[in-house]
Amino acid sequence: MKNNKYNLINTSGKQLLSRQENRIQYVEPDAFIIQDKKAASLFDSEGHLLFSKKFCNLEPGFPGELKVTSASNHNVISIVDFSGDKISGDRYGFLYPKENIIHSYSNSINMIEAKDLYWLRSAEGIDLTDRYKTLDQLPNGFFLGNNEDIISPDAIEIVHTDKYLKYFNEYLLLCDKGWGDNHIGIINMHGHLIGDYFSNVYLKGQFVFTDYIMEIGRGWNSKNITLHGLYAYDGKKILCSNYNYIRLLSDDLVVYSYKNESAVGCISNGRKISMFSNNAIHELATINECVYYKIGRGGYYTLVNDSLFSYGDFTDLSYDAEMKIIKGLSKDGKVYNALTKELIYVPKIPSIGDIAEGKVTGIKPYGVFVCFDSGHSGLLHISNISKNSKSISDFRKGQLLKVLIIKIESTNKFNLDLVPD
């Protein structure tokens, strides 16, 4: 050795290597580590380079293995063979951070922790995910890595996002954009964006409601208004965030307002809205300064107040000015005080030959439809109207009419005749 120069000579005296300011270390079987400031290399006994790694050290390990260590603190980075290929396994005690199984799941996946890092590993010892500072299992079995990566329960599907995520329900996650009033987004468990730019997202029953703050006007005249949207529990859009208010009256009925015009919709299978006609909402009565509305849908009526509180469904609703109550006809033909649910009476079912009072519910060119308190209905045909010197134009919806029951069809529909005035 001279001036920190190392020479490697074989048993025949042949010089194999000559390095300035290097460290040469023998490694069994028949290999040499050459270390300098920039790299660590492994040579065979004939001086042939096997592999080289920059900016790290090589140290002997078990026979046929080398430890790749940090140049600064000598912590073990990985284990390699003499070809430089990585070998997995923890066989070096304190040199490797100790790994702990902190949870074993029913699908034979383990959560591993080492040196405050967490990852998933199969029962066969194969690492399935990256290492995360935080790794949380969600109530639906999915995992969140660093609150950014969505990992399926079997760790087969891993979606990388750049968003801060948090659990919302079994189908959806919320992502936080971190700026402005409308900073919340909704994504599903596969990383697909459902909607974004919301100021608030919340559950109500089996539906997801969203708020969106919108500025209208300019300068000193500007103001913020909150618009609302409605989504199904699994994220399917029902109403976009353009509505002044949205209220659920039941699992399948929603009342909403757009540009101060109220409308009613029926939610089918929690996803689609079937629109009602413009006359679906009727102001029924004002009692003690509270306004009550009758909302028609598919042969039934829902009674709500001006705060959109629902009093239930009825086959018919009417205001009795004399009793100052709202009467509701139930499906079984009984009449109740719709507000208090107090039974008022059980209407008599008309029979053939009876004269009964009913309400006009429909007017067609061929006749007038009349509904009775019992819930039954009948047709006053145009022929019976004409013979009484009347015409279709003499009738209006909601009109009370005395009629004669002349026939009852098998479907419990009545044939009617007009009772002379």
What residue spans define the domains of the chain?
Answer: 5-92, 100-275, 278-345, 355-418
For residue 94, what pLDDT is reported?
39
Q: Once rounded to an integer, what is the mean pLDDT over residues 381-395? A: 89
User: First CA to last CA across the chain, in angstroms?
Assistant: 134
CA distances from 12 to 9, 86, 143 (A): 8, 34, 62
For residue 93, what pLDDT is reported?
39
For residue 7, what pLDDT is reported?
67
174 closest CA partner among 164, 162, 161: 164
- What would be the CATH architecture of the domain defined by 5-92? Beta Barrel (2.40)
Nearest-angstrom CA–CA distance, 95 and 326: 82
Q: Once rounded to an integer, what is the mean pLDDT over residues 46-59? A: 80
Q: Which of 269-273, 315-319, 347-351, 391-395 has the lowest mean pLDDT?
A: 269-273
The CATH number of 355-418, from 1.20.1250.20, 2.160.10.10, 2.40.50.140, 3.40.718.10, is 2.40.50.140
Angle at 143 between CA 140 and CA 144, to 5 degrees: 125
Same fold, 5-92 and 355-418: no
Is the pLDDT confidence value at 276 over 50? yes
Over residues 189-218, the pLDDT tens digits come to: 999 999 999 999 999 888 999 999 988 877
pTM of the model: 0.56
Over residues 99-135, the pLDDT tens digits come to: 789 999 988 999 999 888 899 999 888 889 988 999 9
Structure tokens at 330: 């139930």
